[in-house]
């Protein structure tokens, strides 16, 4: 019995010793690093001394010389070096075969060819400052301003365009005006305002390359040229026109406008297989056109001298018109000359009226089809 008691006491004592050791080790483990260091150096005897001794055992930091002399300057921390990680080798992307380009059958590869389209190559020009048109054909109305161009002998008959515009305004519900200051095609900013530009003359003329470039852009973006030969047929003006239009559209030709075209029916309905006589009997006007895509951009009256028909209008039949004899007409009205004289027998007042009807139809067609 005594032996068992002694053995139990030994177990209890051993257990207490183990508990004490565990407490000491645990206390050491939860100490802060600097406290633990001081403890092992014998500078701290118990946990009671920790707060008292804490200020004495801060780790020493050696400042750089610059920091020592300038205590107010911020101390920079040592630069950290980025860990280098070996990147996997980049494998080349697999080659993907490019599909062959499709070439339209009608175009040869390597050959430069202008693609003709019904839509302008750039934004359509804004003509609202010179034309505000609603409706079309017989119901057309609004306002329009037309300029005077300065090619060939453009001013040989000063009443030509005013008389035409007078009749156009009188027969339709469109209020018309003419810019009295003549323009030329070098003034891009100005001509781009007009939906239509009129030209006529007897003599030769030429366009500079800048003129041709401007006219091409003007026509592609919605503009229109209305051209009349002031000769009864052929002549220097027509020769120049055919030559100079090649600068504008090198691959295009004037095409005769068939009598079925809307330009001959949009306001006045011309029947038959040709237009009625203009200034002269048995010399009917013939119209030719150049198209950009499916849009007519140039209309040319090659024969019939309808512009002289407009010039010779006067009197109560055409109120507001004015006949002004000039160097080309000082011998009398061509519409009244007899047979066998000059270009032929004049068609009289009926020829003048027919000339106005043709001109009015062209203006109504152009303004009704502004893009």
Q: Distance between CA 196 and CA 127 in Å, rounded?
A: 9
If one counts the domains in the chain, the total is 1
On whether residue 4 sits in a domain, the answer given is no
pLDDT in tens, the chain (371 residues): 555 656 667 777 777 777 877 777 666 666 556 555 655 555 554 444 444 344 443 444 444 444 444 444 444 444 444 434 344 444 444 443 443 343 333 323 233 333 333 444 468 999 999 999 999 999 999 999 999 888 888 778 889 999 999 999 999 999 999 997 788 888 888 999 999 999 999 999 999 999 999 999 999 999 999 999 999 899 999 999 999 999 999 989 999 999 999 999 999 999 999 999 999 999 999 999 999 999 999 999 999 999 999 999 998 999 999 998 876 666 678 888 888 666 789 999 999 999 999 999 999 999 999 98
CATH number of the domain within which 259 lies: 3.40.50.12140
Burial of 88 (0-12, 13-18, 19+ CB in 10 A): exposed
Identify the CA nearest to 225 among candidates 189, 197, 184.
197
Give me the residue label for tokens 């305004």. 169
On whether residue 334 sits in a domain, the answer given is yes
On whether residue 32 sits in a domain, the answer given is no
Q: Is-contact 255 228, C-beta < 8 A?
A: no
Give me the pLDDT at residue 52, please. Answer: 39
C-beta atoms surrounding 76 within 10 Å: 9
On whether residue 318 sits in a domain, the answer given is yes
On whether residue 229 sits in a domain, the answer given is yes
Name beta bridge partners: 226: 198, 299
Burial of 202 (0-12, 13-18, 19+ CB in 10 A): middle
Detail the DSSP E strand segments found in the chain.
Answer: 131-134, 141-149, 173-183, 197-201, 225-229, 255-256, 287-292, 295-301
Give me the pLDDT at residue 356, please. Answer: 98
Give me the residue label for tokens 């175009």. 107
Name beta bridge partners: 31: none
On whether residue 329 sits in a domain, the answer given is yes
Q: Is-contact 248 215, C-beta < 8 A?
A: yes
On whether residue 160 sits in a domain, the answer given is yes
User: Residue 99 has which token pair?
Assistant: 């599909």
Domain extent, residue 331, equals 131-368
On whether residue 159 sits in a domain, the answer given is yes
Kindly list the distances between the CA atom of residue 126 and the CA atoms of 171, 223, 312, 365, in Å, as whole numbers in the listed order.
26, 10, 35, 18
Burial of 94 (0-12, 13-18, 19+ CB in 10 A): exposed
C-alpha torsion angle, residues 19, 24, 29, 35 (rounded to 10): 170
Give me the pLDDT at residue 27, please. Answer: 63
Identify the CA nearest to 226 among candidates 305, 308, 160, 289.
289
Q: What angle do CA 284, 285, 289 make, to 5 degrees?
A: 145
Q: Is-contact 348 317, C-beta < 8 A?
A: no
């Amino acid at each position: 019995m005594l032996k068992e008691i002694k053995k139990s006491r030994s177990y209890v004592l051993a257990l207490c010793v183990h508990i004490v050791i565990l407490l000491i080790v645990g206390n050491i483990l939860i100490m802060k690093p600097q406290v633990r260091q001081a403890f092992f150096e014998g500078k701290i005897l118990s946990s009671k001394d920790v707060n008292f001794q804490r200020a004495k055992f801060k780790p020493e930091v050696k400042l750089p010389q610059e920091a020592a002399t300038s205590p107010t300057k911020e101390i920079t921390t040592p630069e950290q070096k980025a860990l280098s990680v070996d990147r996997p080798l980049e494998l080349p992307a697999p080659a993907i075969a490019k599909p062959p380009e499709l070439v339209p059958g009608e175009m040869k590869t390597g050959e430069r060819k202008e693609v003709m389209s019904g839509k302008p190559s750039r934004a359509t020009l804004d003509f609202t400052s010179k034309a505000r048109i609603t409706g079309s054909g017989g119901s057309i109305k609004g306002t329009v301003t037309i300029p005077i161009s300065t090619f060939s002998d453009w001013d040989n008959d000063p009443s030509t365009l005013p008389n035409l515009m007078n009749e156009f305004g009188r027969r339709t519900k469109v209020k018309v005006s003419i810019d009295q200051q003549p323009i030329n095609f070098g003034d891009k900013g100005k001509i781009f305002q007009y939906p239509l530009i009129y030209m006529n003359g007897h003599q030769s003329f030429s366009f500079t390359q800048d003129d041709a470039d401007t006219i091409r852009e003007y026509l592609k973006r919605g503009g229109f040229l209305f051209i009349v030969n002031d000769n009864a047929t052929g002549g220097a003006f027509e020769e120049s026109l055919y030559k100079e239009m090649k600068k504008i559209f090198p691959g295009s030709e004037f095409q005769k406008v068939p009598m079925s075209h809307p330009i001959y029916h949009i306001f006045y309905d011309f029947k038959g297989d040709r237009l009625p006589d203009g200034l002269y009997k048995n010399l009917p006007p013939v119209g030719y056109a150049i198209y950009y895509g499916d849009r007519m951009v140039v209309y040319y009256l090659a024969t019939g001298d309808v512009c002289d028909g407009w010039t010779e209008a006067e009197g109560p039949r055409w109120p507001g018109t004015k006949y002004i004899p000039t160097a080309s007409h000082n011998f009398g009205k061509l519409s009244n000359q007899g047979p066998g004289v000059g270009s032929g027998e004049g068609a009289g007042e009926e020829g003048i009226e027919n000339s106005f009807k043709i001109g009015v139809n062209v203006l109504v067609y152009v303004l009704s089809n502004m893009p």
